[in-house]
Amino acid sequence: MAAAPAQAPYSRAAMHAPTLDVAVIGAGPAGLMAAEALAARGHAVHVFDGMPSAGRKFLLAGKGGLNLTHGEDWARFVTRYRCGAGGRAPALQAALDAFPAQALRDWAAALGVETFVGSSGRVFPRDLKAAPLLRAWLHRLRGQGVQFHMRHRWQGWAADGALRFDTPAGELRQHPRATVLALGGASWQRLGSDGAWWPWLHEAGVALAPLVPSNCGFDVAWSEKLQREHAGAPLKGVLLRCEGFEQRGEMVLTAGGVEGSLVYAASATLRDALARDGHASFTLDLLPDRDAAWVAREVAHPRGSRSLGSQLQSRLNLGPAKAALLWEVVMRQEPAARHDLARLAQLVKALPVTVTAARPIDEAISSAGGVAFEALDDRLMLRVKPGVFCAGEMLDWEAPTGGYLLTACCATGRWAGQGALRWWERRDGTAPG
């Protein structure tokens, strides 16, 4: 991981100054966007985070090139998001429309980071690095007067409504005029997203959905042979189908199951099926570029003294991993297919794989669940706690990888910051500067 930019030291005097207008809790993309929206209007913004430095998860994302957003048509882009039990949330739509993909690219350009659209439609910085963007962003925020308080872990609210923080100097309490919560979901706990906020919001009467893994892998009960010989092997150019989901891409066989971009894309469907039915499965078309008739002819081709496995390798060119997976299913689920070539050909085009469980949430790329949109007004303020706004991955939405996650975190952070600004100014009847 790239070294995180240095943070300003903790200042007790700053924390207790009467100018603490807004507390932003969480120094990830959503929190930093909220801070930027508020600081731009002259408010004294203080950002609190339990980690030693800002943007830890953001920097990790940068190890893969920092996929900022996606270049597809906006009307298609916004359909990638699912809120709650598969619905749409007007507040999320409004936040995205106010800060779409191109706006995010323009924002990065204003920080001196040019972007490009890759062959897959994903948008990356030209240098494929996160650290320069984060450094420039933090520098600008500090220039706007934003103060950072690291190693300050939020502990909920005191009886008088004060924000409680566990800090190196002991417990501190703050009474900001407005608060933006941007605490992330529950994946990658070592980077600060641990879901510890969930009980405190639940106690406050906020409607919440359980935090569950999203963009995750799944367990499959492989044979020892497949685990030993093919764990880590990629399956390229396969087509995955399950419950109306259909997508082509790449996945990986693991010692305990399956993972990879194609599996992540189907993860919400598989996860929900497991929760609903107690079981879930998908089918793989191992040769999506070949039609069923061609596969049937090749499978039925006279093989002479060749073994069936050698015949399939030669005629179908499956490759070792695909062939091993095919035989895994045949030998353990449909042994009769060894002698029924028509059925064997069908399995090549629709190979069933049963998953037994989603991988733990801390291994997931992201999480679903969290603050229900019904608990928020159209500006992302908690209905039961006026002046408290929520943003980012702690909201109950999910999206596939490909830049959609980061876009929504930035958009909702900006939207919540602007919401806090409008609420405060409407309440007080004043606006700074």
- Identify the domain containing residue 160 by its residue range: 12-213+364-428
Q: State whether 166 and 206 are in the same domain.
A: yes
Q: State whether 380 and 338 are in the same domain.
A: no
Q: Where are the beta strands (DSSP E) in 291-372?
A: 351-355, 357-358, 366-371
Q: State whether 257 and 301 are in the same domain.
A: yes
**Number of domains forming the structure of the chain:** 2
Q: In the beta sheet, which residues pair with residue 46? A: 23, 147
**CB-CB contact of 135 with 34 (8 Å):** no
Q: State whether 58 and 185 are in the same domain.
A: yes
Q: State whether 268 and 163 are in the same domain.
A: no
**CB-CB contact of 253 with 246 (8 Å):** no
Q: State whether 170 and 95 are in the same domain.
A: yes
Residue 5 resides in a domain? no
Residue 433 resides in a domain? no
Q: State whether 200 and 345 are in the same domain.
A: no
Residue 112 resides in a domain? yes
Looking at residue 426, its pLDDT comes to 80
Q: State whether 67 and 122 are in the same domain.
A: yes
Phi/psi for 422 (5° steps) reads -65, -40
112: number of CA atoms within 13 Å, CB side?
10
**CB-CB contact of 395 with 34 (8 Å):** no
Q: State whether 339 and 250 are in the same domain.
A: yes
Residue 344 resides in a domain? yes
Residue 25 resides in a domain? yes
Which of 308, 334, 358 is the last residue before a domain boundary? 358
β-pairing verdict for 22-25 and 178-181: parallel
Residue 7 resides in a domain? no
**What sign results for the dihedral spanned by CA atoms 38, 41, 46, 47?**
positive
CA 110 to chain centre: 25
Which of 311, 332, 358 is the last residue before a domain boundary? 358
Which of 358, 378, 396 is the last residue before a domain boundary? 358
How many CB atoms lie under 10 A from the CB of residue 87? 9
pLDDT tens for the 433 residues of the chain, in order: 444 444 444 444 334 434 478 999 999 999 999 999 999 988 889 999 999 999 998 998 777 789 999 999 999 999 999 998 767 789 999 999 999 999 999 999 999 999 999 989 999 999 999 999 999 999 999 999 999 999 999 999 999 999 999 999 999 999 999 999 999 999 988 888 899 999 999 999 999 999 999 999 999 999 999 999 999 999 999 999 999 999 999 999 999 999 999 999 999 999 999 999 999 999 999 999 999 999 999 998 887 767 777 778 778 888 899 999 999 999 999 999 888 999 999 999 999 999 999 999 999 999 999 999 999 999 999 999 999 999 999 999 999 999 999 999 999 999 999 999 999 878 766 544 3
Q: What's 103's domain CATH number?
A: 3.50.50.60
